[in-house]
Chains A and B, each alone.
Chain A
Amino acid sequence: MSKPAAFAPASRQSGLLGLRSVSLRFALVYGTLFVCSAVLFLSFIWWGTVGLLEHRVEQAITTDSRALFNIWSEGGPTGLTMIIDDRLEQDIDDNALYLLVNKDNKWVAGNLAEWPRQITINDHWFTMPVKRSYTEDMAKVRAYALPNGYRLLIGRDISGRTLLRKIVTDTLLWACVMVTLLAIGGGWLVRRLFRHVIHSISRTTQAITHGDMSRRMPVQGSDDELDEIAITINEMLERISRLMDGVRQVSNAIAHDLRTPITRARTQLEDAALHAKNEDELRAAIEQAVGNLDNVTSICEALLRIAQIESGARRSAFVLFDLIPALQDVCELYEAVAEEHGLRFVQHLPDHLPFFGDRAMFQQAVANLLDNAIKFSPPHGTITLSAKVLSTARRTDGSRGKRLRLSVTDEGIGMSEADMARASERFFRAEQARNTPGSGLGLSLVQAIVQLHDGKLQLASNTPGLITRIEIPLPDAETVPAQSRAAHP
């Protein structure tokens, strides 16, 4: 008890600051980034305008000084005085400032009344106040030393530029304030949105944790990323629900389908133990019980096989082989069975069909389909097995490839649309097939095998009868692993 109490103040403190909240951290990062980018951008504008103005003034004064130095070297103080007078007479911008003084600091030429006391160093930039008729302005000046103790001051009145600089600075400062306010507002909105999404996910997942599998994330319909997340989570929940329902159904079905033969076997053994008159009767009862228990074993084996196939572990046994001989082996077996049932068995198979997969497993799938077709066909009916190669399958990368379409068609009792939709579920048996022997796992096994081969299992009505269709993409030479090709050329 003492430890949590000791940690409590620190935890509460960070809680008060709100920094434990992801949404607040997100909003702070957003706001900081926004303000930093804006300040950087506005600083660039400031230097680009105000800095440029300063630079242009300095450049004008420097250029002017070079020209006046040339005049001094040619005409001395007289020539320079004339040029300064000339420049002041033609200074339409009315911003030029000149002052030439002698070694005694006496005025020689220019438009400044006296040498500014504060300018004691040559070749340095100064900003100083100047007085006009009615106003006081600012000027940027630079002093130059001339031969014989003369000194020259060149400057520009920068009041206009100072005003512009103030306007630009004020505007940018206000822009900074506005941007900060926008960043705070944006951060608040981002935080709200983020919290809304997180809370929505949190509420839904909490409800699911408490067993309410019917809860779903709200979809706003704006088709944005948040909707995408909500749809994905909802799809995930749908799938989990379906899987849980499936597990529940399978558990019920296993319990039901295993109980019947076990109960039957128990009853037979009990009856034999109580009422068998001789050894033959006892033996017959034991054989019947063994038959029922074999049925239980076969159901368990089928379930394990489906689970193993669905786990994808069997893909390691995939090789490249010719499918036609494999199909012919199965046909040979079922031709005899069909004949026994008075059925006609027709095959439409190409000469060769290179296939990449598990040979034994695929034979098992085809055998299950033929077995079903024979079981549900009336006498004198026709069962057709056909395989053809289609070349219109579009792969995930957009390219077109080949695919195998294998169909088993019968003229039996068929299935309703609702039954077809559930036919591949484990232990599902259509109502009209209740009296036919079977465990309801045959098509589940076929479905698992087809999915392992990246294919699709489809059922369609043949009026009368059923068409069971398998479509599986056929391999290109480059998609088949090298060792599989080497082992089975």
Chain B
Amino acid sequence: MPALPSPKPVVITSDSVAFCLRLSRVIESYHNGALPRAVSQLREEGTDLCRHGLVRPGLIRLRRAIVSLKRTTP
């Protein structure tokens, strides 16, 4: 494996509040009608956690909500 000439880290953009809000919007726009209760709850929890600075737990909940939506929606 080649050695890296510079150790400067590359920023992961998905690990941010902005990406959280993006996921929240994706969930919101995904379903025309009302969201299933579990999905809605996950979305709310995830958005809250991101707003309070807990980005990774928030992202996990939002992603679970999306996965759940994809599984239930034809």
A interface residues, Cβ below 8 angstroms from B: 88-92, 94, 97, 110-114, 116-118, 121, 124-133, 136, 157
Contacts and interface: CB of A to CB of B under 8 A. Distances in A.
A112 B56 CA distance: 16
A92 B56 contact: no
Contact of B63 (A92, A110, A157): A92
Q: Which of A90, A110, A125 has the most CB of B within 10 A?
A: A90
Contacts, number: 79
22 contacts: A89-B63, A90-B63, A92-B63, A94-B14, A94-B56, A94-B59, A94-B60, A97-B12, A111-B13, A113-B12, A113-B13, A114-B10, A118-B5, A124-B1, A126-B4, A128-B4, A128-B9, A129-B7, A130-B9, A130-B12, A131-B12, A133-B55
B39 interface: no
Nearest to B61: A92
B15 A133 contact: yes
A128 B14 contact: no
- Name the 8 nearest CB pairs between A and B, nearest first: A111-B14, A129-B9, A131-B9, A113-B11, A132-B15, A118-B4, A131-B11, A118-B5
Given A89-B23, A94-B56, A133-B55, A112 B11 contact: yes
Given A118-B4, A127-B4, A129-B9, A90 B15 contact: no
A118 B5 CA distance: 6
Contacts of A128: 4, 7, 9-10
B73 to A, nearest CB: 13
Interface of B: 1-2, 4-16, 19, 23, 26, 55-56, 59-60, 63-64, 66-67, 70
Question: Taking chain B's interface residues, is the majority helix, strand, or loop, or is none over half, making it mixed?
Answer: mixed
Contact of B10 (A113, A121, A133): A113
B63 A91 contact: yes
Nearest to B19: A111
Nearest to B15: A132
B6 to A, nearest CB: 5
A335 B9 CA distance: 120
Given A94-B56, A97-B12, A89 B26 contact: yes
Q: Which of A117, A129, A133 has the most CB of B within 10 A?
A: A133
Given A112-B13, A114-B11, 7 more contacts: A94-B60, A111-B13, A112-B11, A113-B10, A113-B13, A129-B8, A129-B10
